[in-house]
Amino acid sequence: MISGFALAVAAPWLSRIAGKHGGNLLAMLPAVLFAYFLGLVQPVTGAGPISEITRWVPTLGVDLSFRVDGLSLIFCLLITGVGTAVIAYTGAYLASHEQLGRLQAYLLAFMASMLGLVLSDNLLALFVFWELTAFTSYLLIGFKHHEDKSRGSALQAMLVNGLGGLCLLAGVILLSNIGGNTSIVALIGQADAIRAHPHYLAALLLVLMGAFTKSAQFPFHFWLPGAMAAPSPVSAYLHSATMVKAGVYLLARLSPVLGMTPEWVGIIAPIGALTMLIGAVMAFFLTDLKQILAYTTVSMLGALVMLVGINTQESMAAAMVLLIVHSLYKGTLFLVTGSVEHGAGTREIGELGGLRRAMPLTAAIASIAALSMAGVPPMLGFISKELWYESSLQLALGGIPLVAASVVANGLGFALAGVVAYGVFFGKPAHPDPHPHDPNFAMSAGPLLLAGLGLVAGLFPGLLIEPLTGAALTAMAFDASHYHLALWHGINPAFALSLLTFALGAALYTGRERVVANLGRLAGMGRYGPKRLYELSIQKSLAYARFQTNLLQSGYLRSYVMVVVLTSVVMVGLSVTWDKVQSIVVPALDVRLHEVLLAVVILGAALMMARIGASLAAVAALGVVGYGVALMFYLFSAPDLAMTQLSVETLSVILFVLVLRSLPEAKSLSSRSTRIRDALVAATAGGLMTLFLLIVLSEPFQSRLSGYFNENSAPLANGRNVVNVILVDYRAFDTMGEITVLAVAAIGVYALLKMRKGEGGSR
Amino acid sequence: MNSLILSTATRLLLPLMLLYSVFLLIRGHNEPGGGFVGGLVAASAIALIKFSSGLERARAALRFDPITLVGTGLLFAFASGLLPLVAGMPFLTALWWDQKIPVLLKAGTPVLFDLGVYVLVVGVVLTMIFALSEE
Amino acid sequence: METILAIVIGGLYGTGLYLMMRRSMVKLVLGLALLAHAANLLIFVGGRLVRGVPPLVANGAIAPPDGSADPLPQALVLTAIVIGFGVQAFLLVLLKRGYTLMRTDDLDDMRTTET
């Protein structure tokens, strides 16, 4: 399993090599992984979860512990299965695109992170993969990075998901603190204690923030339609089939830990229902195929969240089946949209119609998928809807609004399925491109396979879906021994609701134009939604950042110096209390005339520099200061320092002269008053340093290290010059860093030089 | 800047200064001196050629591109750290060779380290001086 | 004696900072050089002053003589001197390059990135 993941991580590299050989080759990787996970179905459903642990950051409790159970297996199969279709499709869809390799690399990287996400048993590792999916999603949405809209949408998705990710991180940390463990399996064991903990609600809300942003729940739903700026296969993969389901996955995964409480049901189910309604209603008013699909995706994500929120065995089973069926049909429809755009040149439903003749295969695929979307038997979509209704009907009185919302949303979904498939492929021919055509095999195979799976799974639910969802239920701590899936549940209230849905859907489809015309004005209300809030907050924070930058970064170096100096003066000054000043003990060493003279010379030269400024005389004065300091070192027992300082000073005077030679004589640029002000600030700072040093000197001296250095230099380190031994032996690592700095400085100089030469050539 | 006195003096001083710089490097472990000072003195010697006879002569006298010396020096120092790693000890642990070598007195990784510092300092200083002297 | 040196250090800090607040880039570099001296001396003096007993082990002895100067601040300062030199040299090259590009030494004229 880890090898499969490692292979996927190496995929960007592989794709760069194989990029030109088409997507089919690359699709092999997810296909092989799919087969691998398919092979795991038997052992997992039979013998229970498989896990494997690698320590990663043991101190923080972050392990790469992978665990395959029913729930993750469903996701793995979806990720690799849809991944195979999408990657093969992409190779053909963007065959002429020069950066196809880049897109495929992103897709594979995304697939790897998504697999990591669903396989991790460790909460922190899960979070890392969670963020990785957001990151790859950012890259994929912004794939057409030369377009403003793409970049904006990518940023929006990134920010919304980033917000959720941070909340999730906080939630995860809180959760692992409460439970004392980062392993999900271990946390499930402590579920009761966690649910009773006072911080339970906070942890729940934080985790929900993460899940809701990822799965585009109200009020964060707006990023998903924006994310449709990505190429169609990306939308199919990330923003419909897999990534956005990560939020649902997280909820399902943590439901045994956090679920089964009034808070869980009370918060999640209504928000899911609300999102479901909003998404369906908004989709109804749109005319762009892809946008319609985007909003119906929001709607179905809402439904999934709602079902997970209800948190009964039936609702969880319904959620799992719905999850699978939705990925299958919605992924297909997105790919079909890509094919339609490819073949007919538009995505506007008003301009499309009767494509059946020109694109028979695509039409067939779309019809199968749409039937599943509409929930018509014998599609898998029908089974999921039956389960969904059954589970909501089992709720007490509070379930009635949920049932009503579900019926409305499904009715709208039915109508939209009609719009997407029937309207486009049947009916009156109308399209701008005179010669629409079916795409080639690679583009048709994927969607055909996905749509076909939806049909087969509906006809034989016991074949694959039943054991999988059963194992997933076990993973969510339900007893699934009596669990059974069937296409036909008999005539019961759920079936009645299905019939009602069909009727409503058919009515909505035929009356769509009239409804849209009458209520179209209301759709403009969307302007005041959460998206507006998002835009406002972005604008405001940008404006604030600009204001802050202008305030703090005037662009004048000297004001920065001034700010730094004044800040330090105030900070140091505050710590220098009167007591300390009084406690200064004038140190013991006696005063000698030649040393005092030297001190006067140094000080005098420095003051002279301040007066005369930039000229050769100032450099000479600097030399005097340097040599004076060197002499001081010599006088006070530091011959090494003296020698080094002397050589350095000589060389630096040479450098200064070399530079000043080519510069004009400096003139006084500031006014007299500015200079006096600066002089005052500088003098204060200088005086404070004097005081500071005196206080330091009054404290008793402690040198714990030097004793060790002194004792061991000769016997152990074979050196009698202790300073040198410190440099090349005890603290050689520091010296190593230092010479690296020097090397970097030299390379910098060298680069500046080369740059000049290069420019000279081009001019 | 072609002064007869300076160029004559340089010719006399150059070998002395270079010798002195190596002397400083070698004795650095026991007496004041070491790679830093040694390198600075050697760099000054080459810089002297530059002032007496011009940049080209100085470059010729150095033989190597100074930036190469920077890299070489860093490599030496790093290698001295890697050697103990090979022997299974932490990075930069001092290793001493048992046999005494007549000139160096003792040989060990710190000596190699100091040599690296020496070469690097020569390279850095001369890179900068040459850079500023061009045009 | 330490008091006198403390005053010298204060003076170096003061003049160094003053020069750094000028508009001329050359003065900035000069000021930085003074500041480096000040900081080196500060560390050195902070390690206590000792006359005439460098931290050297006599031939045949095991440790430096009693009352010898503390080697640690010296090693630190030695590093600082050389790094200071490297940075200063880099600044000088940068300064010269800036001047040849922009024909000005005045930092206020260098606020745009365009040449």
Q: What is the CATH number of the domain that holds C13?
A: 1.10.287.3510
Q: What is the pLDDT of residues A122-171, one digit of tens each?
A: 888 889 889 988 888 888 888 877 777 888 888 888 888 888 899 999 99
Q: Which residues of B, range 62-101, sit inside 8 Å of A by Cβ?
A: 66-67, 70-71, 73-74, 77-78, 80-81, 91-92, 94, 96
Query: Cβ separation of B31 and C89 shorter than 8 Å?
Result: no
Range with the poorest average pLDDT among A142-146, A680-684, A748-752: A142-146
Q: How many domains, chain C?
A: 1
Alpha-carbon separation of residue A300 from A218, A275, A339 (angstroms): 12, 9, 23
Q: Name the more confident of A313 and C104.
A: A313
Contacts of B116 in chain C (CB under 8 A): none
Residue in A639, A739, A753 closest to B73 by CB: A739
Residue C97: give the domain boundaries.
Answer: 2-50+71-110
**Mutation test of the interface with chain C: which of A637, A703, A750, choosing the one with the most C Cβ atoms within 10 A?**
A637
Q: What are phi and psi of A319, to 5 degrees?
A: -60, -45
pLDDT for A351: 75
What DSSP character marks residue A700? Answer: P
pLDDT tops 70 at residue A490: no
Separation CA C55–CA C72 (nearest Å):
10
For A649, the closest chain B residue by CA position comes to B40
pLDDT-derived band of residue A17, with 50, 70 and 90 as boundaries?
low
pLDDT-derived band of residue A530, with 50, 70 and 90 as boundaries?
low
Taking 50 as the pLDDT cut, the residues of chain C under it are 113-115
pLDDT tops 90 at residue A192: no
Domain residue limits, chain B: 4-133
Contacts of A669 in chain C (CB under 8 A): 22-24, 106, 108
Separation CA B130–CA A592 (nearest Å):
43
Q: What are phi and psi of C105, to 5 degrees?
A: -110, -5
Of all residues in chain B, the percent with pLDDT exceeding 70 is: 82
Q: Is residue C46 part of a domain?
A: yes
pLDDT for A761: 40
- Report which residue type is found at A16: R
Domain residue limits, chain A: 557-705, 706-763
Alpha-helix runs per DSSP H in B28-108: 35-53, 55-62, 66-86
For A745, the closest chain B residue by CA position comes to B124
Instruction: Give SS3 for A50.
Output: strand
Query: Cβ separation of A666 and C105 shorter than 8 Å?
Result: yes
What burial letters (b/e) apply to C65-98, b meaning 16+ CB within 10 Å? eeebbbbbbbbbbbbbbbbbbbbbbbbbbbbbbb
pLDDT for C41: 92
pLDDT-derived band of residue A521, with 50, 70 and 90 as boundaries?
low
Q: Is A643 on the interface with C (CB under 8 A)?
A: no
Q: Is residue C42 part of a domain?
A: yes
Residue in B32, B124, B132 closest to C86 by CB: B124
Of all residues in chain A, what percent are helix, strand and coil, respectively (each to 5)? 80, 5, 20
Closest by Cα among A132, A337, A150, A162 to A233: A337
Q: DSSP for A442-485, please give it.
A: HHHHHHHHHHHHHHHHHH-TTTTHHHHHHHHHHHTT---TT---
pLDDT for A240: 77
Range with the poorest average pLDDT among A146-150, A506-510, B95-99, C50-54: B95-99
Q: Name the more confident of A752 and A202.
A: A202
Closest by Cα among A120, A322, A138, A162 to A239: A138
Q: Name the more confident of B87 and A239.
A: A239
Q: Is B103 on the interface with C (CB under 8 A)?
A: no
Contacts of B36 in chain C (CB under 8 A): 78, 82
Separation CA A36–CA A83 (nearest Å):
14
pLDDT for C9: 92
Q: Which residues of C touch B (CB under 8 A)?
A: 54, 56-57, 59, 78, 82, 86, 89-90, 92-93, 96
pLDDT for A524: 55
Mean pLDDT for the stretch of residues A692-702: 81
pLDDT for C115: 41
Bridge partners for B114 per DSSP: none
Query: Cβ separation of A739 and B96 shorter than 8 Å?
Result: no
Of all residues in chain A, the percent with pLDDT exceeding 70 is: 84
Q: Name the more confident of A103 and A209.
A: A209
For A685, the closest chain C residue by CA position comes to C14
Q: Name the more confident of A239 and A62.
A: A239
Separation CA C89–CA B132 (nearest Å):
9
Mean pLDDT for the stretch of residues A413-422: 82
Q: What is the pLDDT of residues B50-86, one digit of tens each?
A: 888 777 887 887 788 888 888 888 888 888 888 777 7
pLDDT for C114: 45
pLDDT for A561: 82
pLDDT for A546: 81
Separation CA A282–CA A689 (nearest Å):
68
pLDDT for A170: 92
Closest by Cα among B35, B28, B32, B58 to B45: B58
For A645, the closest chain B residue by CA position comes to B37
Q: Is residue C18 part of a domain?
A: yes
Name the most confidently modeled range: A1-15, A332-346, A657-671, C78-92. C78-92
Which residues have C-beta within 8 Å of that of residue B27, sequence separation ≥ 6?
Answer: B33
Separation CA A223–CA A298 (nearest Å):
10
pLDDT for C36: 92
Closest by Cα among B87, B81, B86 to B112: B81
Average model confidence (pLDDT) across chain A: 79
- Report which residue type is found at A598: L
pLDDT for C111: 57
Residue in B30, B32, B131 closest to C93 by CB: B131
Alpha-helix runs per DSSP H in chain C: 2-20, 25-46, 71-102
pLDDT tops 50 at residue A96: yes
**Mutation test of the interface with chain B: which of A739, A741, A759, choosing the one with the most B Cβ atoms within 10 A?**
A739
Closest by Cα among A332, A328, A325, A327 to A382: A325
Name the most confidently modeled range: A233-237, A388-392, C20-24, C83-87. C83-87
* ipTM for the whole complex: 0.90
Q: Which residues of B, range 18-77, sit inside 8 Å of C by Cβ?
A: 30-32, 36
Alpha-carbon separation of residue C45 from A32, A57, A334, A629 (angstroms): 70, 44, 74, 12
Name the most confidently modeled range: A301-315, A345-359, A383-397. A301-315
Range with the poorest average pLDDT among A518-532, A563-577, B55-69: A518-532
Please identify which residue in the block is written with the tokens 């799992």.
Answer: A320
Q: Name the more confident of A136 and A58.
A: A136
pLDDT tops 60 at residue B13: yes
Residue in A729, A736, A750 closest to B127 by CB: A750
Q: Which residues of C, range 64-93, sit inside 8 Å of A by Cβ?
A: 64, 68-72, 74-75, 77-79, 81-90, 92-93
Closest by Cα among A254, A223, A267, A404 to A316: A254
Contacts of A614 in chain C (CB under 8 A): 24, 26-27, 30, 105
pLDDT for A628: 92
Query: Cβ separation of C63 and A710 shorter than 8 Å?
Result: yes
pLDDT for A231: 81
Separation CA A567–CA A91 (nearest Å):
59
pLDDT tops 60 at residue A652: yes
